[in-house]
Structure 1
Amino acid sequence: MSEFVYPPVIATARTLFRLMGLRFRVEGAEQVPRTGGAVLVSNHVSYLDFIFAGFGAHPSRRLVRFMAKKEVFDNKISGPLMRGMHHIPVDRNAGASSYRAALNALKGGEVIGVFAEATISRSFTVKDIKSGALRMAAAADVPMIPMAVWGGQRLWTKGRPRRLFQRKVAVTILVGEPMHPKRGDDFEKLTKELRDRMTELLEKAQREYPDVPKGDETWWQPAYLGGSAPTPEEAAELDRQDKEIRRSA
């Protein structure tokens, strides 16, 4: 597979982040296999998560092909980049084709990135997740690796103005131990285990995060740590309202 776009994009991102003074902590990167297919499953707190989650695979010299909603590929700016990096569009009206594309990539030895919550979590906790990533890993007979990213919400997240040039923000990327789902497993049970693992990683990232919100910055801290982010219940209601607005548009 030709890689004319992905490496320059990574190099550009690294340069920009260095100029911004972003402080990265990456832990557990050795869990990403250096060869063969794998599914990376990350939480979702910002629009930059695909970049940060991808950084977790860089020490293993792997390029992650993320599954992202079709609208991102339709954009005249992001679309060419996404296609050039061989990410996989997800059309919710034709999900089977996206699944097949990801499965073929996994069998071809690629690393596929999935945000199992589907949308950004406004509460900055792990939302309910679906079993698709587990079933995909089982069908391709590849490991599934839980991840947690934290800090990117301070730069750009749902419902908040973009602050892409905020300096010296800390970004934490934690990679957990692989799971090895197989055909015929109890996927309901495994989905709960995956969510528990993601939650454990995320809470570790949050509790060990070096920065403390000050003044009116408490919005990026989850409610369970004393922040002013919506509770999971409040976030679910906001998501429901968004869906209603989109349906009526």
Structure 2
Amino acid sequence: MGKELDRNRSQQPLRTPSAPGDGPVYRRLAAFAGVVLRATSREVWDDAAALPATGGMLLVSNHVSYADVLAVGRYVIWSGRWPRYLGKAELWSTPVVGWFARKCGQIPVLRNTAQARDALAPAQAALERGECVGIYPEGGRTRDPDLWPMTARTGVARLALSTGVPVIPTANWGTHLIMPGRRLTWPRLWPRKTIRVVMGDPVPLSDLHGRTDVEAMRIATDRIMDAVTILVEGLRGETRPAGVWDPRKGERVTKA
């Protein structure tokens, strides 16, 4: 999981190791987010040693707060990649947020409709162009009462197995103290909160590449979420509860 967590790297101004970086709007937004987060939080990062310097890749993470995208995105950008996140399409019609999403090349998802799979086409195209695509496998912020990762959807597995790109797990903890709950609210910036972000090694999926059957999707999804949950356990210093929260049933279930 990289080196010991370190605050020093997160306190430095934004650089663009993957020069020349992204477009001006994305660069300025990232720089502004860095100024705000350095001033109002204590960011503690590892060295992101597993992050590929180039080429298509899937960035997966747990999702506990609206602030996750800023916290993890900044960590990844500072480390050299500019992520294209899949996000719910409703945000694209939100003033300001939607404008930034378009300008920064993020990918809208039409959730809970037959069109949801359509989002995978632009995501796959971005991967084939060598982009870093960020996706929350759970499909939204966790509904687990204790904020553990919940059951995931298979979209991330479809992308991973069809493209063969590396799947890089990350985890964050502390963002839920800044923007708690499921509604978009003003952030709680003071007193200062601690945000921790770490990265794990690529999820082993080569034995499943090219498969499209349900069993392969389930296995791949489970491996991806297990890798993320292990990182969350490390950040929290706790062991995950037995079972995984299933939002459809409103309870923790045992995986098959």
Q: Tell me, yes or no, whether TM beats 0.5.
A: yes
Per-residue CA deviation, residues 113-164 of structure 1 (Å, 9 max, x unaligned), is: 0011112114310100122112202222210111111100001122576443
Contact 1:121 1:235 in 2 (8 A): no
Structure-2 separation of matches of 1:38 and 1:60: 14
Match of 1:90 in 2: 109
Write the mapping of 1:200-211 to structure 2, written as runs, cut at 5 A.
200-207=230-237
Structure-2 separation of matches of 1:234 and 1:146: 22
Instruction: Specify the code of the residue in structure 2 equivalent to 1:13.
Output: A
User: Cα offset for 1:80?
Assistant: 0.3
Structure-2 separation of matches of 1:187 and 1:173: 27
Match of 2:161 in 1: 138
Contact 1:29 1:59 in 2 (8 A): no
TM value normalised by structure 1: 0.79
Match of 1:170 in 2: 194
Per-residue CA deviation, residues 167-221 of structure 1 (Å, 9 max, x unaligned), is: 321101111111253112722122212221111110111118xxxxxxxxxxxxx
Contact 2:22 2:82 in 1 (8 A): no
1:118 pairs with one of 129, 139, 143: 139
Structure-2 separation of matches of 1:63 and 1:156: 23
Any gaps of 5 or more consecutive residues in structure 2? Answer: 1-20, 252-256
Structure-2 separation of matches of 1:164 and 1:54: 19
Structure-2 separation of matches of 1:139 and 1:235: 27
Contact 2:141 2:182 in 1 (8 A): no
Alpha carbons of structure 1 residues 223 and 154: separation in structure 2 relative to 1, 3 Å: farther
Instruction: Specify the code of the residue in structure 2 equivalent to 1:184.
Output: R
Match of 2:124 in 1: 103
**Which region of structure 1 is more displaced relative to structure 2, 95-104 or 162-171?**
162-171
Instruction: Specify the code of the residue in structure 1 equivalent to 2:91.
Output: V
Is 1:11 equivalent to 2:41 in the alignment? Answer: no
2:96 pairs with one of 77, 81, 85: 77
Instruction: Specify the code of the residue in structure 2 equivalent to 1:144.
Output: V
Per-residue CA deviation, residues 199-245 of structure 1 (Å, 9 max, x unaligned), is: 1110111118xxxxxxxxxxxxx996xxxxxx94799639xxxxxxx
**Percent identity over the alignment?**
27
User: Cα offset for 1:24?
Assistant: 1.2
Contact 1:134 1:144 in 2 (8 A): no
The DSSP-based 3-state class of the residue aligned with 2:84 is strand
Structure-2 separation of matches of 1:52 and 1:194: 21
Match of 1:179 in 2: 203
Contact 2:151 2:246 in 1 (8 A): no
Contact 1:68 1:89 in 2 (8 A): yes
Match of 2:11 in 1: none
Alpha carbons of structure 1 residues 174 and 24: separation in structure 2 relative to 1, 3 Å: same
Contact 1:27 1:173 in 2 (8 A): yes
Structure-2 separation of matches of 1:60 and 1:168: 24
User: Cα offset for 1:97?
Assistant: 2.5
Write the mapping of 1:36-51 to structure 2, written as runs, cut at 5 A.
36-51=55-70
Contact 2:59 2:170 in 1 (8 A): yes
Instruction: Specify the code of the residue in structure 1 equivalent to 2:27.
Output: P
Structure-2 separation of matches of 1:183 and 1:28: 32
Structure-2 separation of matches of 1:54 and 1:7: 12
TM value normalised by structure 2: 0.77
Structure-2 separation of matches of 1:234 and 1:144: 24
1:192 pairs with one of 207, 219, 222: 222
User: Cα offset for 1:66?
Assistant: 0.2
User: Cα offset for 1:28?
Assistant: 4.8
**In angstroms, what is the RMSD of aligned CA positions?**
2.6
The DSSP-based 3-state class of the residue aligned with 1:86 is coil
